[in-house]
Structure 1
Amino acid sequence: MKISQRTPIQTSHLFPVLDQLLIDLLKSLTEEEWQKQTVAKKWLVKDIASHLLDGNLRTLSISRDHYFGEIPENINSYSDLIDFLNQLNMTWTNATKRLSPNVLINLLESTGKEFCEHIQSLNPLENAVFSVAWAGEETSLNWFHIAREYTEKFLHQQQIRDAVGKQALFTKELFYPFINTFAQALPHTYRETKAPVNTIVTLIVDTEIGGRWSIIKKENDWEFVDSFEEKATSTIKIDPQDAWLLFSKGMTPTEALEKVEIKGDEHLGRIALNIIAVMA
């Protein structure tokens, strides 16, 4: 998909809000809750807090200071990139197991402020340091890269909240930009799907905090469409709780089949359950 076809998603102003909610959440955790298992099967709550710190530090080093540190070699495919990122994540979380929760909180609080300042300093219409690969882009604008960073912070905090039974981040202000960014993967998810030209697929994330996204089959690809007269060939409806889990590998497409509602062409609708809007 061409960059110009996407409508910018505004998220920069939400980072300080999300960060303060994270700090308040982490300060409220008991010693036992820090060791709770999360839906990210390899990570406990403490590992996710550590990963969020890594995200702050890497962004400041790479995007602000132009210091790349480890430069990957032999990255010849998307799977190679995923393997490299998984290795980076693992070495970091293993090394920071020696850090106490208090140290992690203090570091998250200080680096979070610098992170937010840097994000808000970026020109949203300039090219980003990294593309949003899961949306099929080789080059992305800063606003999309920033929105992707927002989904990372939202997702990992939500994973912690889910693990310890705290209130989910299910408000229109915070959830809709998150799920709207994830939904940008819809055309790329259907890229290999053959269908007659003008076939329309609609994804609905239910309730007032969700939204509706439709794509249409063109000659060579699928594109977002805002309005259409014909009835959608397939409509998929999913609730917010299942949506954030499914699109971040917290639930399999097979598990999701029992929870979603598909109207129209079921085979076509099932493709949407393969949306993956995370890298590793």
Structure 2
Amino acid sequence: MTHRIEVETLHLFPVLDNMLISLLKDLGEHEWELQTVARLWKVKDVAAHLLDGNLRGLSISRDKYFGKDPGIINSQADLVKFLNGLNLAWTNALKRLSPKVLISLLEVSGREYIEHLKELGPFENAIFPVAWAGQDISPNWFHIAREYTEKFLHQQQIRDATGRQGLMTKELFYPFIDTLMFAFPYTFRNVEANAGTSVSIIVTTEIGGRWNLIRTNHQWHLNKEADIECSSVVHIDPHTAWKLFSKSWTPEQVLDIVDIQGDQSLGRQTLKMISVMA
């Protein structure tokens, strides 16, 4: 059987990391304290969280060192609560670090983390599944793509807060949004519909694309065919999409800036998609 990586992202990690370091080195002192769309985090907190991603990834995935015992995790809500606690403790602790130290640590850890990800067999089981896609087991290529979305999202939050040019290019944005769409079927897991019912999300402009859900055999299946006639079609621009699907904006906040054609109930359900563990 021939395996295929659904979303290729590993080659983009050095691109994102280099852009991040250049961005952070260019920030003025006051810009480190600007508020981001991540409501609890300012720019420096987001940079600290990116460092946590590198260091925790190396510790757990490379070194098999898991640190704090999460205790009993009975649900995704329990996991989110545990992760949010870890994130808060980390960002609070790193407030004592200077931006210069933070940048230096990001440079070193970023290179090490990329080298580790290159060593992973893409179709072997990842150390953690991608829970926001409803998976119990995920291949490493999807784990790597999830890590890409984290790096893209948080750097974009910094760029958004500081008014810098964003990462909104076909090369960088499309793999990000393409990965987020793996949460599309999971968002509809409890939605009943007749066989053949279909729903589409169209992320507009040349950097976007189209993703469809089709109901067959009591399940929703994802595809990217362009000529499907759908029961509901949601048009959303890229800037709204990255904020909505990362839970920075709520569905209620975007109702006036998205276009839902056809079945309104199905269309509104798409706006509930969350492609992060938060």
TM-score bin, normalised by smaller chain: over 0.9
Unmatched 5+ stretches in structure 2: none
Q: Is the Cα contact below 8 Å between 2:211 and 2:225 reproduced in 1?
A: no
Conserved 8 A contact 2:133-2:182: yes
The one-letter code of the counterpart of 1:159 is Q
Q: Distance in 1 between matches of 2:73 and 2:176?
A: 29
- The aligned counterpart of 2:175 is 177
Distance (Å, rounded) in 2 between the aligned partners of 1:273 and 1:220? 22
Find out whether 1:235 has 2:233 as its counterpart.
Answer: yes
Partner of 2:134: 136
- Alignment correspondent of 1:263: 261
- 1:216 is matched with 214
Instruction: Identify if the C-alpha distance between structure 1 residues 75 and 6 changes in structure 2 by more than 3 Å, giving closer, same or farther.
Output: farther
Matched residues in 2 for 1:103 and 1:221: separation? 49
CA separation of 1:5/1:122 partners in 2, compared to 1, >3 Å: closer, same or farther?
A: closer
Is residue 47 from structure 1 mapped to residue 52 from structure 2 by the alignment?
no
Say whether 1:276 aligns with 2:274.
yes
CA distance in 1, matches of 2:5, 2:192: 26
Instruction: Report the counterpart of residue 145 of structure 1 in structure 2.
Output: 143
Aligned AA for 1:32? H
CA contact (8 A) 2:199 2:230 kept: yes
Change (3 A) 1:227 1:163: closer
Closer, same or farther in 2 for the Cα pair 1:178/1:227, shift >3 Å?
closer
Partner AA of 2:21 in structure 1 = I
Q: Helix, strand or coil: the match of 2:29? A: coil
- Which deviates the most, 76-85 or 7-16? 7-16
- Write the distance in 1 (CA, Å) between the matches of 2:139 and 2:218: 23
CA contact 2:246–2:276 (8 Å) conserved in 1 = yes
Contact kept in structure 1, 2:210 and 2:224, CA below 8 Å = no
Amino acid at match of 1:144: F
Change (3 A) 1:91 1:228: closer
TM-score (norm 2): 0.97
Say which of 5, 8, 11 aligns to 2:6: 8
Greater Cα shift, 159-168 or 7-16: 7-16
Unaligned segments of structure 1, at least 5 residues: none
Does the C-alpha gap of structure 1 residues 231 and 104 become closer, same or farther in structure 2, counting only changes over 3 Å? same
Q: For residue 21 of structure 1, what is the aligned residue in structure 2?
A: 19
**Percent sequence identity over aligned pairs:** 59
The match for 1:104 is 102
Deviations along 1:251-274, whole A, 9 cap, x unmatched? 110111111111111111110000
Cα displacement (A) at 1:230: 5.7
Indicate conservation of the 8 Å contact 1:13/1:120, yes or no.
Answer: no
What SS does the aligned partner of 1:32 have? helix
Deviation larger for 115-124 or 89-98: 115-124
88-97 vs 223-232, which deviates more?
223-232
Superimposed CA distance per residue, residues 213-238 of structure 1 (whole angstroms, 9 cap, x where no aligned partner): 01101222101134487620000010
Local SS of the residue matching 1:8: coil
Aligned pairs (5 A) from 1:239-254: 239-254=237-252
Letter in 2 for 1:124: P
Cα offset, 1:120, TM superposition: 1.5
Instruction: Output the CA distance in 2 between the equivalents of 1:69 and 1:226.
Output: 40
Q: Deviations over 1:99-155 (max 9, x none)?
A: 000000000000010011111221111100010000010000000010000000000
Moved segments of 4+, more than 4 Å? 4-7
Query: Compared with structure 1, are the counterparts of its residues 56 and 199 closer, same or farther at alpha carbon in structure 2 (3 Å cutoff)?
Result: same
Partners of 1:189 and 1:10 lie apart in 2 by: 23
Cα drift, residue 7 of structure 1: 5.7
Find the residue that maps to 1:73 and give its secondary structure.
Answer: coil
CA–CA distance in 2 between the matches of 1:6 and 1:258?
Answer: 39
Tell me how far 1:74 sits from its aligned partner. Answer: 1.4
Q: Which amino acid aligns with 1:118?
A: H
